Amino acid sequence: MTYRMRPQLTASGALLLALLAGCGERIDTPRPAPPTPKAEAAESTVAAAAPVAAAPEQPSTQPGSTAAAGSSRPGPRMGGAAARDDTGIATAIRDVQITARVTAGLSVDKRLSASPIQVATEAGVVKLQGRAPSEEARARAVEIASHVDGVDRVSNQLEVREATTGERPVDAVVGTGPISSQSVPSAPTTAVPGSSASDIEITMKVSTGMSVDRELASGRVEVNTRGGVVTLSGTAPNDRARQRAEQIARHVERVEGVKNELKVIRPG
């Protein structure tokens, strides 16, 4: 057991205090000396270095929160891998579309429609393999492919040689299998009264060739055919596109002539 003593003022002590007060003496409580500048700096340093206790994080109570109760860890976030996957899928879809358009453009050209040409696209780069009947046709294949929207470059690996019997014509290849080019959009066509089956086929081919050309995408070209003569009407974005539309029509098989009635929206 511990006893604590309480200090008490005795009679003699009280008398001594009274005498000192009567003599004008005063008893002051000792005061600490003012701190020096060095001491103040040291105290500031210590205060700055002292760690501040952070308040504990509370679990999120908002709807949709994925954090578990009592845990301060955030929920899972989408990383860069998902974004890269989305980009890869978009690129693959674009490559398929490019391949279909290039194939369609080659298939309606009378110098290339019977040639065994394979088309493949990877990241916007079109690769042409197979055979072309002449140097002119080989150059024409590159021209058609390079004018398709989305094509960054054309790798021309075509050999100049006449096709032999039994070889299949232009083919679109993605990976290891062929694809159909029926998804290629067609330009507006007009069925002229009295048109033959041949005229209708010509109109469809000319329309297809124009629909895959990026220079004609901003214009509106109408195609109609009668007696093998193709008439182009509507608008073209510039003079170059107007001439290109006529060139595409003239390169379709069984076309006897072209009437170019296109109006230029912006001359130049």
CATH number for the domain running over 85-182: 3.30.70
C-beta atoms surrounding 128 within 10 Å: 23
Query: Both tokens of residue 6?
Result: 């309480």
Residues 6 or more apart from 248 whose CB is under 8 A from it?
206, 209, 210, 213
Q: Residue 170 — pLDDT band, cuts 50, 70, 90? A: low
Burial environment of residue 1 by CB neighbours within 10 A (0 to 12, 13 to 18, 19 or more): exposed
Window from 34-43, 83-92, 120-129 with minimum mean pLDDT: 34-43
Residue 100: half-sphere exposure toward Cβ, Cα within 13 Å? 16
* Architecture of the domain whose range is 185-268: 2-Layer Sandwich (3.30)
pLDDT tens for 97-144 read 999 999 999 999 999 988 899 999 999 999 999 999 999 999 999 999
| The residue type at 138 | R
Ranges for all domains in the chain classified under CATH 3.30.1340:
185-268
Rounded Cα distance, 251 and 126, in Å: 22
Q: Where in the chain is the domain with CATH 3.30.70?
A: 85-182
Sequence-distant (≥ 6) Cβ neighbours of residue 129 within 8 angstroms? 117, 118, 120, 157, 158
| pTM, to two decimals | 0.59
